[in-house]
Structure 1
């Protein structure tokens, strides 16, 4: 589906809408929360919106390598308002203004200059920038990015210092690291990071060489949290590793003393895990609505297919056989329309509006739902309050 961005003026009644004062993230925004972790592919826009719908406090986008975003073309969908940063053959990063107050953009970088350029490319559409210092995958580490930064603290801190110096003060800068094998080495690294001016630090409680199937070492984090507190620096430390959802986050916080908890694998399986009572039977409760949303916002089918193939939950009414049959159908499907009987109705606009209403009911966007409804009523490009923040809007 191809759409052209429009510059048509807003209706008179929309011009008269009083724009609310924009609020921004602060270090306190990283406290007492449950966050969606950055995940390649699985952290796509539809998953982030579903996570926010079900209670995620903040959401991280998937890691994007600095050079990949530098020459992307920013395009705004005139129907849905989705913002795409397009490369030559695909969208490198997509977002929507309704998630901006809660969105952290994660950069993969081994260069202070490129990191700053990449951050400035997207800064108008996000509320914070996070440096990936923990990805152990070769595509990241071979270029000195991700977990490779853990053993190059001078470069790591130079990147963070440059981001903090060059980005607007209302844009938070944070980092996500892994544990080092030695607790003392980890604390030395953490001390250097928290002195760069970051707003928060996330610690994935596994070392670089540990695999996801190995239990996270969350018991190591409390000493690190107390160490940061002892420095007299008020920096939230976020725990990441093996949290199963909203209820389990209480356990992780109790063990670690962390300010907040970040969820990855459990959210990949069920984006409603941020709710006190997550959805069961995702085959009938989550997948249909997720598909409707994806089709409406023109999410690429291959990415959609990957995400829904990861969904799983406790089953109450759906049998194991039915769940397996559905997975087989999803694997064979070559497009949305092949799953029409599963979805029932492709009322994606209604699905999106429902999500927008829920997100818009939060602070700091008191009039967000009004703007959404006006957009849908008048079928014009969706533009958030404070449109002057978007100088590249065509």
Structure 2
């Protein structure tokens, strides 16, 4: 079933649907559990967070941490940051059995990415981008999709590399769409399904990618303007069940406890709590937000949710659980493409991968903790400048 799901051709989405709705790659947050959640609410295509290709090729730990999936996690695009053929093609080959396509990030404007000549720094090297795309396409068979530079479809963040916020350039989007014979996905500043519909009318783009808006409201693509209690319930269920392996699930069936341990399998507190913070931004009153946003443990979060909403995690029925269980991905012997593309001398010199600290809260989250404690308002709207 996994092979069948991952062999899906992403381009079929554009053939069948007038509008393809896409969850953007988001640093720290477009993890498996959140991808499963938005798929419940009419999201057609999801991306992993940006993964450093060199780390992915060189480190088994990075592969285990950065790419997790299950039977419901499709179609999925894995996004890599790379500035060499061997890193990107090697990472693409490693991930190809477990996703429906790869994306070369040429848009990240963060300072650290620019210093490593990644992200938007790649826009200054079109010849290198072309070579990466060509060699990846030549080595990885269809229907595997390479999302970049007109090969299959193109996502366009309609701002310049120096713009973090503000209005997107709709005229440029329209110009790109008029001059390309491939599907175009528009990204930037979209906060509702109505925004997507309006932008499609103005630009005729084929798909629409949302980041911040989905964090606040995972139901956005279904037309809902706020996060419902049932969505919060689904988040609890997805997270709780993702922490259970088969042995623990069978024990829970006999004696359901429906609690999340403080150091659970396959789930970080950051992922669990932060997503709830964003989902409840427009739901909780001011006083309760100040309390909830600063909770520090799974037990405290679950107690708050239980007391305020009268809901708690629920154990899935067996068929649903088996579809949601995190798969054990086998990367054995798939490093060969990476090693062959990179010279032996260079490979021996590069024995340490750059590991991105995905567990760090990030400067935007840290900057918001103090204002939440001191001020009467809880404004998280600027937290994800790096994503939207």
Fold equivalence (TM over 0.5): yes
Q: More strand by proportion, 1 or 2? A: 1
C-alpha offsets along residues 229-274 of structure 1, whole Å, 9 cap, x if unaligned? xxxxx31011111112223211011111111111111012111111
2 CA distance for matches of 1:147 and 1:383?
33
Q: 1:296 aligns with which of 230, 241, 251?
A: 241
Structure 2 matches for 1:182-331, cutoff 5 A? 193-194=149-150, 198-212=151-165, 214-228=166-180, 234-280=181-227, 284-298=229-243, 299-312=267-280, 314-315=282-283, 318-322=284-288, 324-325=289-290, 328-331=291-294
Instruction: Tell me, yes or no, if the aligned pair for 2:80 and 2:103 is still in contact at 8 Å.
Output: yes
Residue 34 of structure 2 is matched in structure 1 by 47
Residue 371 of structure 2 is matched in structure 1 by none
Residue 85 (structure 1) aligned with residue 63 (structure 2): yes
Name structure 1 gaps, 5 residues minimum: 1-16, 75-83, 176-192, 229-233, 354-370
Task: Please report the TM-score for the alignment, with normalisation by the length of structure 1.
Answer: 0.69
Residue 152 of structure 1 is matched in structure 2 by 125
1:143 CA displacement = 1.6
Residue 342 of structure 1 is matched in structure 2 by 305
1:218 CA displacement = 2.2
1:24 CA displacement = 1.4
C-alpha offsets along residues 145-170 of structure 1, whole Å, 9 cap, x if unaligned? 11001111111111111211111211
Distance 1:20 1:121, change over 3 A: closer
2 CA distance for matches of 1:200 and 1:258?
11
Instruction: Tell me, yes or no, if the aligned pair for 1:372 and 1:382 is still in contact at 8 Å.
Output: no
Partner SS for 1:130: strand
Distance 1:336 1:46, change over 3 A: farther
1 CA distance for matches of 2:5 and 2:45?
20
C-alpha offsets along residues 11-70 of structure 1, whole Å, 9 cap, x if unaligned? xxxxxx9x9798511434246211101111121212111111101010111100101212
Residue 111 of structure 1 is matched in structure 2 by 84
Structure 2 matches for 1:26-37, cutoff 5 A? 26-30=10-14, 32-37=19-24
Residue 363 of structure 1 is matched in structure 2 by none
Residue 63 of structure 1 is matched in structure 2 by 50
RMSD over equivalenced CA pairs, Å? 3.1
2 CA distance for matches of 1:374 and 1:137?
38
1:173 CA displacement = 0.3
Task: Please report the TM-score for the alignment, with normalisation by the length of structure 2.
Answer: 0.70
Residue 97 (structure 1) aligned with residue 71 (structure 2): yes
1:333 CA displacement = 2.2
Name structure 2 gaps, 5 residues minimum: 244-266, 333-388
Partner SS for 2:142: coil
Q: 1:165 aligns with which of 134, 138, 149?
A: 138
Partner SS for 1:50: helix
1:118 CA displacement = 0.8
Partner SS for 1:339: helix
Distance 1:253 1:338, change over 3 A: closer
1:307 CA displacement = 2.5
1 CA distance for matches of 2:326 and 2:55?
26
